[in-house]
Structure 1
């Protein structure tokens, strides 16, 4: 009897030891964060995406998800559907789950201090991707990875200035802005305005948000066309709004790219095709493929390594001929 009891005790101790080495199973590891899983060093990232409002955003999501898988990072993904309250809720959920790192692309710039302070108090590092926040306390996040939106606006403005350098006539411009209060909308507008304001012949006669969506871009452009009989140029803060606007322009019996010159930002496949077809005149690139860089930064901040406070992605611009060359190998 004693031998049988001893054998049972030994078997129990062995089972407990094996359970400890396994990290308590996949479910426990995900819930408590990789380092809290008992031997499983897999990083757990909570990622809150803006939404799926454009082709750019879809490509960005795919890049993040595929890169996390390749990097061996356990990704907890949420779609905020372009609502700040949904992102704040998601971030608080990640804090409760004790993830190792939080990354998100802010819907708007302001109103983040409280929830980011909660993450800081929980000792969970935060990485901003694609969009910035306007908090004065830069200790609330480790780094910001993304494009220079002001520079994108400047590139768009410079093309326009060069295009009309020999003209003395007034150039009437309508602007389709991105989501109100968002970093790309604010900055792309500011950069564009800075460049064209040096010449009084450039006049922005109407400017309104199209929420970065194709449907809204079409709707707002239809209104622009009805209230403004002479439009020379459309500046759209992203390709999707520009593509929606093209539908409205054609519906009004005008020729996009000729009757109304069009400048957009992003360089997603549909936008590049429209550029190659001559319906868009110029595109400033904003790459959505941030996933690989994000995963590298995540690994470093989790280890406590120093990272640059700002990581700018390298991007270019496209004319019609350049779009034709680039399209066959375009990844998004």
Structure 2
């Protein structure tokens, strides 16, 4: 992803269930009927509570996953009649986004949800909001100081690589001298490093499998096609491919089909609908994808609503919402794809 597209950003069951888990967001029930109230915590549910204005500063929608982040936030806010969502023009420009967040602060929104173009660069404006009494939900790309946000919600990049590697390992565990290649994202991004580290850690459990080649792409269809073509030319035969991103995976599949190669299995990353459709059809080398779901933006809206209404999270006894929520990277295969298709993004 470009520095501000998913390059810099980038729950299985958790992604889907967090909706049910977190959407339970405000309760007006009497305490005797409120489970969490028995321990002093105001529980949450879907019924309207006091009005809340949420400021949302999201990314520029120049990538499928990033567009889905914005769509998830908007659609979730519409679910609540008492929630007003103040949105900014999505921006990949750090200075522009800082200005947009300052505008939301000046409007005195009740809660901020920010997916920063650059977490480190926007830390100061996060601190400014918190000092102004506006709690911040930091979405995915983390600020440099925990004082700059009240709660962080994001994906598990290391777990994404770990689960992709474990799936591939289990498919190839009985194959002697198995060879694997990796089509990574942008190497100077921490998320790419974490995904590769998790993948390498998983493969250590399968001594018969060797990573023989790795190429970094750019989270775009074009880069995926070009870099995959290079891998295919250099590696005349291998057994599995892990591709970090389903957008660049569209290009990778084109290169694979153009080369007439089908001797290996492919695992994608993120959870695009196109990838899930291909997995369901089972007519390409793509057999699985590891989720990094944009539903995290809907969960962030749920948490922002709970904060604005002074509620906890249903199912938890605590008075306050958690300080962080790391989403689970489920592996989607033909066996469970129908369960996850509703979360797929275009």
> TM-score, normalised on structure 2?
0.72
- More relative contact order, 1 or 2 (CA 8 Å, 6+ apart): 2
Residue 275 in 1 paired to residue 284 in 2? no
CA RMSD between the two structures: 2.8
* CA deviation string 1:107-142 (max 9, x = no partner): 44533332222222322211022x14162x312111
Task: State the distance in 2 between where 1:285 and 1:60 align.
Answer: 14
Per-residue deviation, 1:270: 0.8
| Number of aligned residue pairs | 284
* CA deviation string 1:179-210 (max 9, x = no partner): 84254x34322221221134453215123132
Find the structure with the greater CA-based Rg.
1
**Contact kept? 2:124, 2:148, Cα under 8 Å:** no
Show the counterpart of 2:322.
Answer: 308
Task: State the distance in 2 between where 1:174 and 1:215 align.
Answer: 17
**Contact kept? 2:161, 2:194, Cα under 8 Å:** yes
Residues 94 and 134 of structure 1: CA distance in aligned 2, closer, same or farther (over 3 Å): closer
Residue 190 in 1 paired to residue 197 in 2? yes
Residues 93 and 236 of structure 1: CA distance in aligned 2, closer, same or farther (over 3 Å): farther
Give the gaps of 5 or more residues in structure 1: 1-40
Show the counterpart of 2:270.
Answer: 266
> TM-score, normalised on structure 1?
0.74
**Contact kept? 2:109, 2:134, Cα under 8 Å:** yes
Query: Out of 163, 183, 199, which is 2:171 matched to?
Result: 163
**Contact kept? 1:150, 1:191, Cα under 8 Å:** yes
- The runs of 4+ residues in structure 1 deviating greater than 6 Å are none
**Contact kept? 1:217, 1:245, Cα under 8 Å:** yes
**Contact kept? 2:159, 2:198, Cα under 8 Å:** yes
Show the counterpart of 1:295.
Answer: 301
Residues 264 and 93 of structure 1: CA distance in aligned 2, closer, same or farther (over 3 Å): same
Residues 243 and 114 of structure 1: CA distance in aligned 2, closer, same or farther (over 3 Å): same
Query: Out of 326, 333, 337, which is 1:319 matched to?
Result: 333
Per-residue deviation, 1:245: 0.6
Task: State the distance in 2 between where 1:329 and 1:117 align.
Answer: 36
**Contact kept? 1:142, 1:301, Cα under 8 Å:** no
